[in-house]
Amino acid sequence: MCLLALIWQQLPDCPLLLATNRDEFHRRPTQSANFWTEHPDRIGGRDQEAGGSWLLATRQGRWAALTNVREGGRQPPPEARTRGDLVIKATELPFQQLLEELPKEQNFYAGYNLLWGDCRQAWYFSNRTGKAPQLLEPGTYLLSNAALDTPWPKTEKLRHSVKAWMAQQKPQPQQLFAKLADENPASDQQLPDTGIGLDWERFLSPVFIRGEDYGTRASTLLWLESNKRMTLWERSFNAHAELLQEQRLQWRL
């Protein structure tokens, strides 16, 4: 996952909404969002190379999403664990156990941001901020490949889009797919310097990335309604930004 907006306890009929884009190499094998056959309580996509995920929900209403931290030339720790396993842990471990384990094990992973919660609470932790896990107050949060609410051009563009969407009389979650499809790049003056060079900063600056080898593979919406119905709606794309598959999954807590 490389970009997401979390709308937490802001809409009376929709206490939780995640709007996300997953950017990845097109050659990396991926299982599209679905109920996991061997773990039927898990709902989401699956990285078939390492076995983890970037966004998951459960039939009980737990949810988690992860982004990598862009670190330029920094090398991952020797024998680094796959970060996708953190998403599974965040949807299955008791909250208190997770709050204790994440700081203790943070040096076993390359840089990451993790958001997780249920219908009552939402948490954030990064192994690159030097801070303890943070309980999130109701609000709208943006996350890309830096710390939570770092004002990168793509996060601020999505923030403004989400704000305009929320101002509608009856905002519908699926309308956010159009906001996640924005391919307009940022100007050079707006770009962050994350140690990857100007060409890559430009390439990675849009909300939706179109690239032959690397780009936005999926846009996913996850939301919980006040009637306890949960929906995960995913659209998958090829290297030409053409829709490959659309999956809409619903269940009640």
Residue 117, SS3?
strand
pLDDT score recorded for residue 72: 84
| pTM exceeds cut of 0.85 | yes
DSSP strands (E only) in 36-138? 42-47, 55-58, 63-68, 112-117, 122-126, 134-135
- pLDDT, tens digit (0-9, with 9 covering 90-100), for 110-168: 999 999 999 999 999 999 999 999 999 999 999 999 999 999 999 999 999 999 999 99
224-236 mean pLDDT: 97
Write b or e for each residue in 131-153: b if 16 or more Cβ atoms lie within 10 A of its Cβ, otherwise e: eebeebeeebbbbbbbebbeebb
Q: What is the mean pLDDT of the chain?
A: 96
Q: What are 252's two structure tokens?
A: 């009640």
pLDDT score recorded for residue 139: 98
- pLDDT, tens digit (0-9, with 9 covering 90-100), for 10-25: 999 999 999 999 999 9
- pLDDT, tens digit (0-9, with 9 covering 90-100), for 161-179: 999 999 999 999 999 999 9
pLDDT score recorded for residue 74: 82
Instruction: Select from 253, 249, 252 the least CA-distant residue to 43.
Output: 249
Quick one: pLDDT band at residue 105, thresholds 50, 70, 90?
very high
Q: Which domains does the chain have, with CATH numbers?
A: 3-252 (3.60.60.10)
Run of H or E residues at 163:
helix 153-166
